[in-house]
Structure 1
Amino acid sequence: MLHAMYSLILAAALAIPGVQPFSIDHPTPIAVPAEGTNATESVSASYPPAVRDALKQVQKSGGHTIVRADGKTYVVIGVGQRPTGGYRLVTERVERTGAHGFVIRVREQKPAAGAMKTQVISYPTLVVALPDAQAQVQVTIS
């Protein structure tokens, strides 16, 4: 009888809209269109090995690093450890500043006050893929 009541409570808690029992934070991928085009390129989370290695480094320490692979420049950005889930990085703007120059503006989005958060340490990251293998990148995180 007691087990049935616990099962009902768990089922009711999971049925609340918007509540997910588990959250796995993956880097948010974004691709910048090639010069002279407006089309964006889809970037999957299956990055080249060098990008995956850079993600491991940036997740813990924060900051950003640049990886050149597959004819592109990948900018791997992180803000380090956060106390709960619900944190993420959002690309505010990617602008071209010259033949190979780019400025990437990123902001950290924090969970809303009073929002339910997963009680797990998280490491918000973002990967920006630029279509220029020689890109010179400046990153601003706010």
Structure 2
Amino acid sequence: MLHALYSLLLAAALSIPAGQPFSIDHPTPSAVSVERADAFETVSAPYPPTVRDALNQVRKSGGHTVVHADGKTYVVIGVGQRPTGGYRLVAERVQRTGAHGFVIHVREQKPAAGAMKTQVISYPTLVVSLPDAQAQVQVTIS
């Protein structure tokens, strides 16, 4: 029985065409709907040292932290521990609420029911960069 499973996995791996990109869910930039034409973006490593420190704190405890660095405002968001892989955070919308006010709407994307998941504890995080060095940020997670 175990040999059949290995054979099936090998056949599936060999059926992937050579040269095709392979993607693993990872904290990577995602599309963000912006209600005003400003330069908002989700960012991935390398981060400024202060952002990296904030990410280490938020990763396990969850919540969000605002870091002002390099003339920008970075918002580090986490939801804490999850039992498997396949969880990720997606910035759905960024609203400008005033001269320096922003609301970031984040959705936790869970693995599909019945999907194969890596059996490892995960800590979904997201880092959003705002061009305003004085930004005052609220975060909503759904």
TM-score scaled by structure 2? 0.78
The AA in structure 2 aligned to 1:89 is: L
Identical-residue share of aligned pairs (%): 78
In structure 1, C-alpha distance between the alignment counterparts of 2:131 and 2:73, rounded to whole Å = 7
How far has the Cα of 1:6 moved from its partner? 8.8
Q: Please say if 1:55 is aligned against 2:55.
A: yes
Partner residue of 1:86?
A: 86
Answer yes or no: is the 8 Å Cα contact 2:40–2:130 preserved in 1.
no
1:57/1:16 Cα in 2 relative to 1: closer, same or farther (>3 Å)?
Answer: farther
Equivalent residues, number: 134
How far has the Cα of 1:28 moved from its partner? 3.2
In structure 1, C-alpha distance between the alignment counterparts of 2:115 and 2:30, rounded to whole Å = 26
Aligned-residue Cα RMSD (Å) equals: 3.2
Alignment of 1:12-23 (within 5 A): 12-15=11-14, 23=24
**Greater alpha carbon shift after TM alignment, 6-15 vs 75-84:** 6-15
Answer yes or no: is the 8 Å Cα contact 2:26–2:88 preserved in 1.
no
In structure 1, C-alpha distance between the alignment counterparts of 2:61 and 2:137, rounded to whole Å = 19
Partner residue of 2:10?
A: 11
How far has the Cα of 1:16 moved from its partner? 5.8
Partner residue of 1:135?
A: 135
SS of residue matched to 1:140: strand
The AA in structure 2 aligned to 1:94 is: V
Answer yes or no: is the 8 Å Cα contact 1:102–1:137 preserved in 2.
yes
Partner residue of 2:125?
A: 125
In structure 2, C-alpha distance between the alignment counterparts of 1:92 and 1:31, rounded to whole Å = 7
In structure 2, C-alpha distance between the alignment counterparts of 1:10 and 1:51, rounded to whole Å = 39
How far has the Cα of 1:11 moved from its partner? 2.2
Partner residue of 2:74?
A: 74
SS of residue matched to 1:28: coil
**Structure 2 unmatched ranges of 5 or more:** 17-22
In structure 2, C-alpha distance between the alignment counterparts of 1:5 and 1:87, rounded to whole Å = 29
| 1:17-41 alpha-carbon deviations (Å, 9 max, x no partner) | 6xxxx95x64334698xxx746666
TM-score scaled by structure 1? 0.78
